[in-house]
Amino acid sequence: MSQELSKEPQFDGVGYEPSPFSLSQFVAPKTDYDFTKYERGNQDKNKKILVVCTEERYMTMQNGKKFSTGNHPVETLVPMLHLKAAGFDADIYTPTGAPAIFEMWAMPSEDDAVKGIYEEYKAQLESPKSLQDFVSGNLESEVEYVAVFLPGGHGAMLGLPENNDLKKVLQWSIEKDIHVLAICHGPAAFLAAAHEESAEDFPFKGYQINSFPDAIDTQTPAIGYVPGEMPWFYGEKLQALGVEILNGDISGACHTDRKLVTGDSPMAANNFGKMSAEALLK
């Protein structure tokens, strides 16, 4: 039946959401979130996760058409479910404190757990904390951040890779030796650490990751997932900085390298969440 669905991206009045065919292939009504219990969960409510979301919606493709994107709800919320189950609440940040943008077309319509944590954090997503304020306050807060989480979605390529405040947060995370968690296109935000810096100083040089492959981003226009060719590819930029991307396809693969945890796609969200939670509890 999916073969009969249109492969034309759907106009939202400004840009384009994925085609009905694409949605039938890549957006499931329920996730594989498995409700893992963490017996020795974190009991210190002062320890939290700093989640960096995009505040930009539209990516301008090579043909000038705009792709309606943001952070992917499954890649954001399923890991947060695991982190919460392990005893870690989250603080949502965007570059300026403007609302976090989600790809609501990718919200799993029949997944009560995912929709539930979305409602729990909805007020924060609509009125998040500001990276700008956090950095201007000398990266000090009333809580102890034990990880920085960079969710996926093509929105991670908008604004974050050249954000100087995120650069300082990533440098701070390395200096403090805390975990960095990134899934799918989330590693695009690592590029902030190289913004206006020498490539030799890139803190993730020599790391291995799983992430969404550039090669698949070249294929998705054919099925109308995006309305045109990509404006640029984050993977080739990371590789030029010395990052090794382990996967050439998407299979749900996850990887831990030192205190960096990565996963390749929405298919990885459940295992990535578990790997992240377990890494923080060690």
In terms of residue numbers, what domain contains 77?
A: 17-29+43-281
Identify the pLDDT of residue 1.
45
Is residue 37 situated within a structural domain? no
Is residue 6 situated within a structural domain? no
Identify the pLDDT of residue 197.
83
Is residue 70 situated within a structural domain? yes
Is residue 188 situated within a structural domain? yes
The 3-class SS string of the chain reads CHHHCCCCCEECCCCEECCHHHHHHHCCCCCCCCCCCCCCCCCCCCEEEEEECCCCCEEECCCCCEEECCECHHHHHHHHHHHHHCCCEEEEEECCCCCCCECHHHCCCCCHHHHHHHHHHHHHHHCCEEHHHHHHCCCCCCCEEEEEEECCCHHHHCCHHHCHHHHHHHHHHHHHCCEEEEECCHHHHHHHHHCCCCHHHCCCCCCEECCCCHHHHCCHHHHCCCCCCCCCCHHHHHHHCCCEECCCCCCCCEEEECCEEEECCHHHHHHHHHHHHHHHHC
The mean pLDDT value for 139-166 works out to 98
Is residue 36 situated within a structural domain? no
Please tell me the total count of domains within the chain. Answer: 1
Identify the pLDDT of residue 200.
86
Instruction: Indicate which CATH number applies to the domain containing 150.
Output: 3.40.50.880
The mean pLDDT value for 220-235 works out to 98
Is residue 220 situated within a structural domain? yes
Identify the pLDDT of residue 82.
98
Q: What is the mean pLDDT of the chain?
A: 97
pLDDT tens for 233-248 read: 999 999 999 999 999 9
Is residue 76 situated within a structural domain? yes
Catalytic residue among 150, 184, 192, 269: 184
The mean pLDDT value for 123-145 works out to 97
Q: What is the model's pTM?
A: 0.97
Identify the pLDDT of residue 3.
56
Whether residue 160 is predicted with pLDDT greater than 90 in this model: the reply is yes
In the residue annotation, 184 being an active-site residue is answered as yes
Is residue 261 situated within a structural domain? yes
